[in-house]
Amino acid sequence: MAQHSRTSRRSPLVTVIIKAMEKAARPMLRDFGELENLQVSRKGPADFVSVADTRSEKILKEELLLARPTFGFLGEESGETKGTSESRFVVDPIDGTTNFLHGIPQFCISIAVETNGEIVAGVIHDPVKQETFWAEKGEGAFMNDKRLRVSGRMYLNEALLTTGIPCGERGNAKRVLKVLDAMYPQIAGIRRMGSAALDLAYVAAGRCDAYWEEDVKIWDIAAGILIVKEAGGVVTDSQGGNTVLQTGSVLATNFNLHGEFLKFVK
């Protein structure tokens, strides 16, 4: 038991990230509670930006750079700010904006720390459910203070896949639907929940057995990739390679099922 409490102790870096997330989450939850008053502008096809997004990122940026002034910052809304060290924060202020704007309580804040091109820490905070998924390289993965493990399911017909289907002009919807069409008869179910970061967190927690998506941005998946790996899962691109952050193509599964899912997505 002592070992468990020792391994789930958060480093100063993770503590800084969680505090910033909790501060940004308070106004976000207020906005979520009064969506009819929220000002929303269209950012592009099926891609919204809201006052809540912009405010959330501003709070996160201020808090994180106050605590780690040498770090760079890459945010979905404000783009990149160079730092003087080899590390940067990779931030999605609201992952699942479309859910958020429709009053669906499936969204989160996602923050990763990238050092010399490698993700070394990742935190995903779901403010509605009060679930914080976090991991540091080599230290395991946790939800709040509970250790995470990917599922142990071994057969496709028991496996639950979570995915994103591109809408509007984004991504290659035809290819995605073709792959899902081939999978449907062989697996237990497919979920399209609308937040890539939470999809990855759910694979790490064993709630889903696999997550596959293409054309996702680095801030959607950087934190979740590390959390899945630290929970004992496997993460590759759709060809089985390690270009996930470069290509935005990601397949994350438990250890047993990776080869089976890879056959479909290849």
Residues 157-189: pLDDT tens digits? 999 999 999 887 777 889 999 999 999 999 999
User: Is 31 a residue of the active site?
Assistant: no
Contact of 17 with 121, CB cutoff 8 Å:
yes
Q: What is the spatial distance between Cα 251 and Cα 242, in angstroms, rounded to a whole number?
A: 10
Residue 44 has pLDDT above 70, yes or no: no
Nearest to 141 by CA among 96, 92, 203, 94: 203
Of 220, 227, 236, 253, the active-site residue reads 220
Architecture of the domain delimited by 2-147: 2-Layer Sandwich (3.30)
User: Is 237 a residue of the active site?
Assistant: no
User: Is 47 a residue of the active site?
Assistant: no
Of 31, 76, 136, 199, the active-site residue reads 76
Q: How many CB atoms lie within 10 A of CB 24?
A: 27
User: Is 97 a residue of the active site?
Assistant: yes
User: Is 190 a residue of the active site?
Assistant: no
- On the 0-12 / 13-18 / 19+ scale of CB atoms within 10 A, 97 is buried
Domains 2-147 and 156-265 share a fold: no
All structural domains of the chain with their residue ranges: 2-147, 156-265
Helix (H, G, I), strand (E, B) or coil at 232: coil
Which of the residue ranges 45-59, 134-148, 149-163 would you say has the lowest mean pLDDT?
45-59
Of 57, 95, 199, 213, the active-site residue reads 95
Contact of 125 with 132, CB cutoff 8 Å:
yes
Of 59, 94, 119, 221, the active-site residue reads 94
User: Is 243 a residue of the active site?
Assistant: no
Of 97, 132, 236, 253, the active-site residue reads 97
The CATH number of the domain covering residues in 156-265: 3.40.190.80
Of 63, 92, 136, 213, the active-site residue reads 92
Q: Average of pLDDT values for 103-118?
A: 96
The pLDDT score that the predictor gives to residue 6 is 44
Q: What is the pLDDT of residues 80-99, one digit of tens each?
A: 999 999 999 999 999 999 99
Q: What is the pLDDT of residues 189-242, one digit of tens each?
A: 999 999 999 999 999 999 999 999 999 999 999 999 999 999 999 999 999 999
Q: How many CB atoms lie within 10 A of CB 164?
A: 22
